[in-house]
Structure 1
Amino acid sequence: MSEQGDDAVAATERSGRRPRSPAGTVRLAEVAAIAGVSDATVSRVLNRKYGVSVSTRKAVEKALRQVGYERPLKGEIVVILVPGLKTPIFAAMTWAIEQELTPHGLRAFLCPIVPGSVMERDYIEPMLDAGMVAAVFLSASNTLRNADPMARHLLEGRGIPYISVNGAFSDGQSPVISTDDWHAAELAVSHLYDLGHRRIGMCAGPAGNTPADRRIEGFVAAMDARGLNDAADYVVRHHFSVDGGRHAADELLARGVTAIVASSDDMALGAIRAAKRRGLEVPKDVSVVGYDDSYMLDFTDPPLTTVRQPVETLAENCVRTLVTMIQNRTVRATESFVDPELRLRGSTGPVPR
C-alpha cells in the first residue's frame, strides 16, 4: 500500500464511518488503541515499512482485522520465485497462477532462481518498495533443507504475506499448497503391480528435497503394502534431469528391475534412454512411469505414462489463499494437499515373461 493508506484513515477520522469493503477506511486512533501502539506505528504497518517488530506488526494486523479493514488489491505485484521455466511443469504452474491472479487486479513478477540460493533475496529485496504485496515460493527454498532463509525473513519483517507450493518451510508460519506425493507414488506402484511387475525400482530426486523425500516414502509404503519389503534397496537418487534419470536407471537396470517409477518426467525420459542403450524395449522389456505431466509426453517415443500434478487446482487454491492474506483476513498456516492423477500412455505394459 502507498500513502493512500494514511489518507484513508484520515478520511474516517472525519466521517466516523467504519469500512465495508477493501476501498473503505478505518480510524488510525482506534486501531492504535486496540493494538496498544502509536498512530505512526499503525501507519508504518499499513504501508509495510521497515522499523516494526514482528510481534508489534502482528498486533496491529490483528487490530486491523478486528475493525474489518481489508487492503486494496488493484495494480499490485505478486513475486513468483521459481526454479527456471525450461522445465514444462514450472512453466505451466507459473502461467496458471498468473491467470488466476489477473481477475483480482494482481500482476505476476516471475523470478527464475536457483532454489535456496541468495538469488531469492536478490529478487525480493528491491521489490519490497516497488508495489509488492505477496510472494509465492514455487518449489523454491521451501523444498530444501538448509536453504538461505533471508528472502523469507525480509518478507516477514515487512509483513508481506507469502505462500509455498509443494513443500513447507520447517519453521515457517504460512500456508502451503502441495500435490500429495505419497499418493502419487501409490498410483504408480499400483499400476505397475497390476501389470504383474514385482521388481520395481525408483529413480528418485536428490536428498534433502521435500518432494523427492515424500515420493520415496510413498514408494516404499506402497511396495511394503504389497509384500515387496526390499523396496528401499531399489531406490537410486540423482538430479531431476534427463541425465540424472539415465544414471539412476543404469543402476536399477543392472539390478534386474522390470519397471521404474521416476520422480519427474525428465528422469523418466532419461530412464527410457538408458533402457534403449542397453538394447531393451519400452514397454516390452521394461516399463517406465514419470511424474508431472505435459502435453508433449504424447509425442515422446513411446508416449510416457505419468502421474499428473493438478496444475490448475494448485494455482486456484494458491491464489485464493493469497488474496485472503493480502486482504488482511486470517488463514490457517497449514499444508493442504491436492490429489494427482495417473495418465496412461504407452511406456507401461505387462511384466515380460
Structure 2
Amino acid sequence: MTDASVSKLPESSTQRPGKKTRSPAGSAKLSEVAALAGVSEATVSRVLNRKYGVSPTTREQVEEALRQIGYERPRKGEIVLILVPGLKTPIFGEFCNAIEADLSPHGLRAVIGPVLPGSVYERDYVEAFVDTGIAAAIFLSSSNTLQNADDSARALLESRGVPYLCINGGFAEGESPVISTDDWRAAELAVEHLYDLGHRRIGMCAGPLGNIPADRRVEGFLNAMDARGIEDAEDLVVRHHFSIDGGRYAADALLDLDVTAIVASSDEMALGAIRATKRRGLRVPEDVSVIGYNDSYILEFTDPPLTSVSQPVEHISQACARTLVTMIQNRPVRTDEMLMEPALHTRNSTAPVRTA
C-alpha cells in the first residue's frame, strides 16, 4: 500500500448488454479521505498503518471516512492473534484448530498466544504483534472472562484501531463482538438430565468466583433447581479451580452433604469428582452420577466414559471467522453477545438415582 492510493472506488453494479464493465475512473486519494474526515493526510496514513499518536475520536472519524469510500484493508497473509490460557486443556486446542481452519480461506493465519489471563504476558503478546501488521485479535477465555481483570491488552488494541472479538465473555469496557456458549442453558441441560433420572440431591463443582462462564453456569444451575422446586440448592454449590484437584476437593465437600449426583463446570473437575467418589468406596454411576462440561473425544475412554455438555466449537468458530472478516473489511458488525446452543452427550457416568 502506498500513501498515494487508498482503495479503488467501487464499480457500478449496472452493465450494458454486450459491453464490459468499465474500470473505476480512479483511486481514492489520501487527500480525499483526509478532506472527508477533516484531518491531515499524515493522520490518515497513521490510521491506515495503525500507528500511535491518533486519538480514538480522530481514528473513528478516519475509519468512518474510509467506510464511506468503500475501503477494505487487504487481508491476504495477515495474522490473527488468539490469546488463550494455554493448550493443556483440550477444549482450547479444539477451538484454536477450528478457528484456524475457518480463517484460512480468507487469507488469514492464526498465531496462538498462551497467556495467564489478565496478566502482563497478555499485553506483551499484543505489543509484540501489533506493529507487525496484525489483522485482528481474539480473546478466547482470556482476560475477557474475568471480572476486574487488567484489560490493558484490550485498551491497546482499541488505541491502535485493531479489531478484536471475545469468546465466552466480554469486557465491561469496549464494544467488541462477543460469541459465547449459552452457559445458562448448559447447566439447565445437566440438571434436567439428572432430574429425569430421579436425582434430587444434585451438587455442583463450580469454577472460581468472578469467572464469567463459571458464574453463568452457577446461575443456570440454581435457576434449573429452583424451577423444579428443589430448595436450598445454593448450599450444594462448591467453588474451586478448573482442574482435577479442584474437582476432587469440591466433590469431597459435596459427598459430605450426601449428594447423589454432581454437575461439574469442566471435564477436568468432573474427572476429579469421579476420583473423589471412588476413593470413598463409592461407584460411578451406581452410587453417584457425574456430568462434565466441554466434551472431548477422550471422554469415550475414561472409566467410566463421561457424560458431558459440549460447547458448539464449530458454530462459534464459523461465527468468529465471519465476524472478524467483516470487521477487517471495515464494515459494521453487531456488538451484542451471540449465544450458541450447547448439547448434552450422554455416556456411562450417569444413571438412575440409587435406591435405599
TM norm structure 1: 0.95
Structure 1: give runs of 5+ residues left out of the alignment.
Answer: none
Aligned residue in 2 for 1:105: 107
Superposed CA RMSD? 1.5
Change (3 A) 1:330 1:230: same
Aligned residue in 1 for 2:124: 122
Shift of 1:150: 1.4
Find out whether 1:341 has 2:343 as its counterpart: yes
For 2:317, what is the secondary structure of its paired residue? Answer: helix
Aligned residue in 2 for 1:290: 292
Shift of 1:172: 2.1
| Separation of aligned partners in 2, 1:284 and 1:271 | 14
TM norm structure 2: 0.94
Find out whether 1:199 has 2:190 as its counterpart: no
For 1:229, what is the secondary structure of its paired residue? Answer: coil
For 1:80, what is the secondary structure of its paired residue? Answer: strand
> Is contact 2:199–2:260 with CA below 8 Å preserved after alignment?
yes
Shift of 1:237: 0.2
Aligned residue in 1 for 2:78: 76
- Aligned counterpart in structure 1 of residue 151 of structure 2, from 149, 152, 157: 149
> Is contact 2:4–2:30 with CA below 8 Å preserved after alignment?
no
Shift of 1:27: 2.5
> Is contact 2:4–2:29 with CA below 8 Å preserved after alignment?
no
Aligned residue in 2 for 1:59: 61
Structure 1, residues 141-198: CA drift from partner, whole Å, max 9, x if none?
A: 0000121121111101100000000001011210000000000000000000000000
Find out whether 1:319 has 2:321 as its counterpart: yes
What is the one-letter code of the residue matched to 2:229? G
What is the one-letter code of the residue matched to 1:92? E
Change (3 A) 1:20 1:324: farther
> Is contact 1:84–1:90 with CA below 8 Å preserved after alignment?
yes
Aligned residue in 2 for 1:251: 253
For 1:6, what is the secondary structure of its paired residue? Answer: coil
Q: How many residues align?
A: 343
Shift of 1:319: 1.1
Find out whether 1:188 has 2:190 as its counterpart: yes
Structure 2: give runs of 5+ residues left out of the alignment.
Answer: 13-25
> Is contact 1:28–1:42 with CA below 8 Å preserved after alignment?
yes
Output aligned runs, 1:15-30, within 5 Å: 18-19=9-10, 25-30=27-32
Structure 1, residues 121-143: CA drift from partner, whole Å, max 9, x if none?
A: 11110111112110000000000
Change (3 A) 1:7 1:105: farther
Structure 1, residues 9-51: CA drift from partner, whole Å, max 9, x if none?
A: 3xx7xxxx61459xx9532222212211111111111111111
Aligned residue in 2 for 1:303: 305
Range moving further from structure 2, 94-103 or 35-44: 35-44
What is the one-letter code of the residue matched to 2:9? R
For 1:8, what is the secondary structure of its paired residue? Answer: coil
Change (3 A) 1:5 1:339: farther
| Separation of aligned partners in 2, 1:327 and 1:20 | 17
| Separation of aligned partners in 2, 1:7 and 1:344 | 61
Identical positions, percent: 69
